[in-house]
Structure 1
Amino acid sequence: MPASPFTTLLICLIFAETVASAEPLIITEQLVHLRHSGDREWATFPEQAQDKELLLRFNAESNSGETALFLRQQDVKQTWNIELNGKIQGKLVRQEQDQQLLIPVPPETLKTGVNELRIYQSGKITPDDIRVGEIVLLTDPASEFLSESQLSIKVTDKETKQGIPCRITIVNAEGTLVVSSAESDEHQAVRTGVVYTRDGKTQVELPAGEYTVYAGRGFEYGVDQQHLILKKGDKKKVELEIGREVDTSGYVSCDTHIHTLTHSGHGDCSLKERLLTLAGEQIEFPIATDHNKQINYEPLARELKVRQYFTPVIGNEVTTKWGHFNVFPVREEGPIPDYQLSAWDEIFESILTTPDVQAVILNHARDIHSNYRPFGPKNHLSLTGENLDGWRLQANAMELINSGATQTDFMQLYHDWFGMLNRGVFLTPVGCSDSHDVSRYIVGQSRTYIQSDAQDPGKIDASQTIQNFVDGKVLVSYGLLTQMKVNSRYGPGELVPPAKEYTVSLTVSGPSWVNAAQIQLYANGQLIRSEQIKSRECGGVKWQGTWQVVLPSHDCFLVAVATGPGVSAPYWQFAKPYQPATPEFESQVVGSTGAVWIDVDGDGKNTTAFEYAERLVKQHAEDLNTLLKHLDGYDQAVVMQVAGLLKARGLKPFDPKLTKALRETSKTVQLGFALYGEAWRASQIARRTN
């Protein structure tokens, strides 16, 4: 394989001017695809890996002083050790992004003659396709390698011309995140290729080379960039300017799911680093949710001089064997919900009797934790929101997009949510990050916009904002923002009075570095309209449209969902699914509304599909043919709820009596029962086989 541009650039720019007793040693120019065992993790990798581990032998001289290994890694999810002559020197960084790694080699580690470098997966062996290579053994300590040039970076706000909290990303000519001398302190949070700075200023030392520097501040801001070449001895300045591109007037940005290494014990983000990343990603209403702990961000935020950028709320991720639930607000020194209980009724009683709690979020309902998947087919029938164990979900919100634990099919949790709303369980939709890290999973990458009149992010009325959250007055953002007004007035969390016709006005917004491709409108979870978007390239409004829609002749809810290609740029790259269902995956940006309720029947309340179904079954339970005939005036959501109620009464989906009666009904009714029957059958199989 010919030398990659990375290695060629490394040789030409880094070592051309180096004066040393020995030349740096290129151990391998290749990037090698490794997988210890199992099927391939992602379809972007070949079916067969090149090897289970990387084993390289090379000739060298013994080292009396410290040297370093310089290498490149991609798509690392599990633990991989780096071993030199039988001793572990470090580990690959658990990070999917393409990045450099610099590993110090202590004195006397190398020996004169043949040396052996081994990179191998350790711990619990889970399929993990990675690439690693382009390995160079340096002759000098890592500190000297990193001090070849100096770069001063200043980022200002376009409007105020003042320094601004932001994320600075530095990559080389291949788009690889680069190592630098920068370290975390009270002013900045640093990882390979990434610096979060509280005032837009940082200074880094870098090896000589070709670089691109990016500056951004989360979803609402544009990205500025500058390309430069640094030679040995250079001291250069980079000045970048970013401005707000997405109008979020009337809303505050919230991440309801945030962790720290300090208090949750895993990930890599200290409490200090977390507060700097919140300011850098422009999260105005962060909820502290370390596992079974209640942490107050307020004192340290003031000490670090970032409190003016957000209003923190104390929460808790109640982490049980039967699901994870984010709850807020809670008291810092108050009682902690009992997370060791063994059933939902007990868990929710403990949560709901905790002082001050208003919001209770069901987290990542499709993920397996402690061998339990809350909304897996063994426990839950998604189409109708039925818990198959007889447990009652007493949450009032639900994560739909968790950017730290995305789903292969992002719509799966939306369909689960639709089923719960149709069942009569009112859940506020949530976007969040579940971030435990500085950079691996970006805090606030998915977020919830909550309706608020606040003009100052440091002075948000927490009580009113939390109430608006509970009332469903929210938007869910993962790279896009979708807003909806029905009949020019009513938005998410509101009830639209009956009207002769219904007009839906939609706006899709995003920054200049994101594109929208499609907008869809759902009524009671059924797709009723879809349109391709020709996305505007500038930041701000990507698309606007007004639709006249025909709704069912009964109450329903409307939800709009916009999508587009996912972000692959190094300054805000989307993560792959946490527990993938298939090796095939294509990331998408998403922006969706909360539910807007339509009071078609004019009784002054939002009557659910389950309530309509319950009335019909009670009225016509003794006459199946009459019951099915009355269903002709209802949508598929009501039909499926009726199917569920009949099953509960003993009339199972494939009972010959039901099958015969359905032959005389409309296609809509037949399809609703067929869909319910297939979903019920899948759940029965899951319960028998698990």
Structure 2
Amino acid sequence: GSERLKIRLGLRNDTPEALDLKLDQMHGFFHSNKSDLVTPERGFDKPSGKLAWAGFDGGEWGFAWRLPDQPISYGLDISGFQYFVGSISKPIAPGEDHFFDHAELIAGGPYYDGLREAVRRVDNEAPWREVKGTVTEQGGGPVAGAYVHLTDAQGAYLSRSMSDAQGNYVIHAPPTGASQLVASKQGFTRQPPVAVGEGPVALTVGAAGRIEVTATDEATGEALPVRVQVIPATAPEADPPAAWGEERPADQRLHQEFAVTGQATLPVPAGSHRVVVSRGYEWELLDQTVTVTAGQTTAVTAKLRHSVDTTGVMCADFHIHSFQSADSHDPIVHKVKGAIADGLDIPVSSEHEWIVDFQPVIEQLGLQKWAFGMPSEELTTFTWGHFGVVPIRPRADRVNLGAVDWIGKEPPAFFKEVHAQDDKPLLIINHPSGDTAFSSYFKAAKLNRETATGNPKLWSNEFEAVEVFNDSDLEANRDGSLADWFALLNHGQKVWAVGSSDSHSIRTSPVGYPRSCIRFGHDDPQKLTPELVRDGTQSGNLVVSGGLSMTVKGPAGEAPGATLVVGDAETTLSVEVQ
């Protein structure tokens, strides 16, 4: 039941001489995918310098990490990894065993406020005084899920909590000195800070109107999964300070909502707002400006037309990350909703070293008519690139639900091992031609375009597809991955190009842009299986789309993936673009 866990290390000097051990201690965390990094000195802003402790606020739970008798120093933050440094200096006599306190983990919550109180209890400090209150909308009712921020009179950040379903909150303020509270929630304007007094503190957010969106298929009247974006006609209020740790929609959008039921009701300040309702590449969109009055609801009816004929074709994104990857903080359900709202037929989970299947989530949402979800893995080596393993089903009896272990192995033999997995997956070379060997196989293996081979120790051509387009278009890849792919084709290696989003944060990187559109001969996601998607991709009968839909046929109706032998003669291809 203790709130503190002490971590001790032991060192033994087996030499005949006294040693003065001076080492840097490295403290690394992969926690920002499901919690927010916070420090007493900087709040939720990026840390710097020496710190009392590093904390992670996961909402209902959290923890602080600190070093005994010294501060912890911030190092760097890269790809979801936060790195901190301490130091030790220990003289150890010959034959001596020396044990010392390495670090402390302090558990607490809820929210940053509860974590700070836990640290005070562990340190036998007097608790800060409890402050209670309710967050309400001006002229309206309680507001659930509002951040409650505590600062001192000069604005220095002190603590954060959140209102519950009834708008009630609890936070702790210093027993002496002036402090103030502000409530904050997306869609409502912030009001001036309220000084903390002796009793409850009532907080308000600005009065808002509501935009109520209803989206349907123009042809059938059926409710339609859509993306709803709201952009104020005038610039919205400034984002909260970085120390507050609130992530708002990008590009001055007030809301980005994935309305998979075809319905969304969104709070907005009074005034004019641009409302964009869309469903990916194949559907017309609604772009409408409305005027909203505080306390009233403005209806927006979107009847979208399916104007691009893609009969027989369904599109996949083979490279989607959620918060099961250490460098993404998007919840799985949110990512799936984003994919379906943007008209993606086959969202494929691609976590780093972990297996997730999107299909059970789609079934829980009741959206099987619109999409088929698949499991895969982004096999993430630290030395010779990243790879899509498609499909690979999660297996509860295996480490990381069945992620393939690459450590200590090299590609020629390892690629064979991947293909021998139970699901007989195909192998996709992800972002193959980047700047570093860490993430890019062609870079690591030193692919030579003149020979279409590389370093014999690392090179293998036992892969089926190349992610030529990674969150990018043709021009961005013309001299890189596209040229590498053409080099392989020119030397007789029949591998297919795919395009995927590699979306880590749906806030700025939507799912399905670009996407790989595979011809199945029908349009029903409920008839798909992982094996059918695998085999359809391996057939090569697909086209990468960054917005346009293309149908390509040879002179006798040959589809993509077929081989035409024409010698020196000319041939004619039919290309239809929508």
Query: Matched residues in 2 for 1:453 and 1:366: separation?
Result: 33
The one-letter amino acid paired with 2:191 is L
Alignment counterpart, residue 394 of structure 1, candidates 438, 448, 462? 462
Q: Equivalent residue for 2:446?
A: 379
Cα distance 1:288–1:471, how it changes in 2: closer, same or farther (>3 A)? Answer: same
Q: Tell me the alpha carbon deviations over residues 53-77 of structure 1, each in whole angstroms, 9 at most, x when there is no partner.
A: xxxxxxxxxx998999xxxxxxxxx
Q: Equivalent residue for 1:513?
A: none
Q: Equivalent residue for 1:139?
A: 192
Kept in 2, the 8 Å contact 1:338–1:350? The answer is no
Deviation of the 1:172 alpha carbon: 1.2
Cα distance 1:323–1:367, how it changes in 2: closer, same or farther (>3 A)? Answer: same
Cα distance 1:426–1:195, how it changes in 2: closer, same or farther (>3 A)? Answer: same
Q: Tell me the alpha carbon deviations over residues 494-528 of structure 1, each in whole angstroms, 9 at most, x when there is no partner.
A: 0224485411222222xxxxxxxxxxxxxxxxxxx
Alignment counterpart, residue 511 of structure 2, candidates 443, 455, 458? 443
Cα distance 1:460–1:371, how it changes in 2: closer, same or farther (>3 A)? Answer: closer
Work out whether 1:296 is the aligned partner of 2:349: no
Work out whether 1:506 is the aligned partner of 2:555: no
Q: Tell me the alpha carbon deviations over residues 154-182 of structure 1, each in whole angstroms, 9 at most, x when there is no partner.
A: 11111111211110011012587999xxx
CA RMSD, 1 decimal: 3.8
Kept in 2, the 8 Å contact 1:344–1:393? The answer is no
Deviation of the 1:486 alpha carbon: 2.1
Kept in 2, the 8 Å contact 1:327–1:357? The answer is no
Query: Matched residues in 2 for 1:148 and 1:337: separation?
Result: 51
Q: Tell me the alpha carbon deviations over residues 327-356 of structure 1, each in whole angstroms, 9 at most, x when there is no partner.
A: 122232164321323421243133122112
Cα distance 1:342–1:202, how it changes in 2: closer, same or farther (>3 A)? Answer: same
The one-letter amino acid paired with 1:299 is P
Pairs within 5 Å for 1:250-329: 250-261=312-323, 263-321=324-382, 322-329=384-391
Pairs within 5 Å for 1:22-61: none
Cα distance 1:403–1:463, how it changes in 2: closer, same or farther (>3 A)? Answer: same
Q: Equivalent residue for 2:281?
A: 219
Q: Equivalent residue for 2:222?
A: 162
Query: Matched residues in 2 for 1:393 and 1:219: separation?
Result: 34
Work out whether 1:420 is the aligned partner of 2:488: yes
Query: Matched residues in 1 for 2:204 and 2:268: separation?
Result: 10
SS in 2 for 1:154: strand
Kept in 1, the 8 Å contact 2:375–2:394? The answer is yes
Identity %: 22
Cα distance 1:157–1:175, how it changes in 2: closer, same or farther (>3 A)? Answer: farther
The one-letter amino acid paired with 2:361 is L
Work out whether 1:153 is the aligned partner of 2:213: yes
Q: Tell me the alpha carbon deviations over residues 591-636 of structure 1, each in whole angstroms, 9 at most, x when there is no partner.
A: xxxxxxxxxxxxxxxxxxxxxxxxxxxxxxxxxxxxxxxxxxxxxx
- The structure with the largest helix share of the pair is 1
Alignment counterpart, residue 157 of structure 2, candidates 64, 68, 87? 87
Kept in 2, the 8 Å contact 1:66–1:140? The answer is no
Pairs within 5 Å for 1:506-525: 506-509=575-578
Kept in 2, the 8 Å contact 1:488–1:505? The answer is no
Deviation of the 1:229 alpha carbon: 1.7
Query: Matched residues in 2 for 1:354 and 1:378: separation?
Result: 24
Pairs within 5 Å for 1:222-261: 222-261=284-323
Alignment counterpart, residue 205 of structure 1, candidates 264, 267, 286? 267
Deviation of the 1:150 alpha carbon: 1.7
Deviation of the 1:423 alpha carbon: 2.6
Alignment counterpart, residue 554 of structure 2, candidates 459, 479, 486? 486
Pairs within 5 Å for 1:173-184: 173=233
Work out whether 1:432 is the aligned partner of 2:485: no
Q: Tell me the alpha carbon deviations over residues 534-562 of structure 1, each in whole angstroms, 9 at most, x when there is no partner.
A: xxxxxxxxxxxxxxxxxxxxxxxxxxxxx
Q: Tell me the alpha carbon deviations over residues 105-153 of structure 1, each in whole angstroms, 9 at most, x when there is no partner.
A: x8979x99999xxxxxxxxxxxxxxxxxxxx973269984354212211
Which has the larger displacement, 298-307 or 212-221? 298-307
Deviation of the 1:379 alpha carbon: 1.8
Kept in 2, the 8 Å contact 1:256–1:287? The answer is yes
The one-letter amino acid paired with 1:454 is H
Kept in 2, the 8 Å contact 1:167–1:196? The answer is yes
Q: Equivalent residue for 1:27?
A: none
Query: Matched residues in 1 for 2:477 and 2:286: separation?
Result: 32
Query: Matched residues in 2 for 1:460 and 1:314: separation?
Result: 13
Work out whether 1:354 is the aligned partner of 2:421: yes
SS in 2 for 1:463: helix
Query: Matched residues in 2 for 1:498 and 1:389: separation?
Result: 34
Query: Matched residues in 2 for 1:143 and 1:407: separation?
Result: 52
**TM-score normalised over the length of structure 2:** 0.60
SS in 1 for 2:486: helix
Q: Tell me the alpha carbon deviations over residues 632-654 of structure 1, each in whole angstroms, 9 at most, x when there is no partner.
A: xxxxxxxxxxxxxxxxxxxxxxx
Cα distance 1:320–1:407, how it changes in 2: closer, same or farther (>3 A)? Answer: farther
Cα distance 1:89–1:383, how it changes in 2: closer, same or farther (>3 A)? Answer: farther
Query: Matched residues in 2 for 1:285 and 1:386: separation?
Result: 33
The one-letter amino acid paired with 1:171 is I
SS in 1 for 2:221: coil
SS in 2 for 1:167: strand
Deviation of the 1:465 alpha carbon: 3.6
Query: Matched residues in 2 for 1:454 and 1:283: separation?
Result: 15
Cα distance 1:469–1:67, how it changes in 2: closer, same or farther (>3 A)? Answer: same
Kept in 2, the 8 Å contact 1:288–1:313? The answer is yes
Pairs within 5 Å for 1:527-566: none
Query: Matched residues in 2 for 1:368 and 1:88: separation?
Result: 41
Where do 5+ consecutive residues of structure 1 fail to align? 1-62, 69-81, 91-103, 116-135, 180-190, 510-690
Kept in 1, the 8 Å contact 2:212–2:300? The answer is yes
- The structure with the largest strand share of the pair is 2
Q: Tell me the alpha carbon deviations over residues 297-333 of structure 1, each in whole angstroms, 9 at most, x when there is no partner.
A: 2333222111221122221111112111111222321
Query: Matched residues in 2 for 1:241 and 1:175: separation?
Result: 28
Query: Matched residues in 2 for 1:178 and 1:225: separation?
Result: 25
Cα distance 1:254–1:506, how it changes in 2: closer, same or farther (>3 A)? Answer: same
Deviation of the 1:397 alpha carbon: 0.4
**TM-score normalised over the length of structure 1:** 0.51
The one-letter amino acid paired with 1:352 is H
SS in 1 for 2:290: strand
Q: Equivalent residue for 1:331?
A: 393
Q: Tell me the alpha carbon deviations over residues 54-107 of structure 1, each in whole angstroms, 9 at most, x when there is no partner.
A: xxxxxxxxx998999xxxxxxxxxxxxx997443779xxxxxxxxxxxxx9x89
Query: Matched residues in 1 for 2:495 and 2:548: separation?
Result: 21
Q: Tell me the alpha carbon deviations over residues 252-310 of structure 1, each in whole angstroms, 9 at most, x when there is no partner.
A: 1111111211x213323211112212221222122222112222223332221112211
Deviation of the 1:439 alpha carbon: 2.8
Cα distance 1:369–1:271, how it changes in 2: closer, same or farther (>3 A)? Answer: farther
Cα distance 1:65–1:302, how it changes in 2: closer, same or farther (>3 A)? Answer: closer
Query: Matched residues in 1 for 2:193 and 2:308: separation?
Result: 47
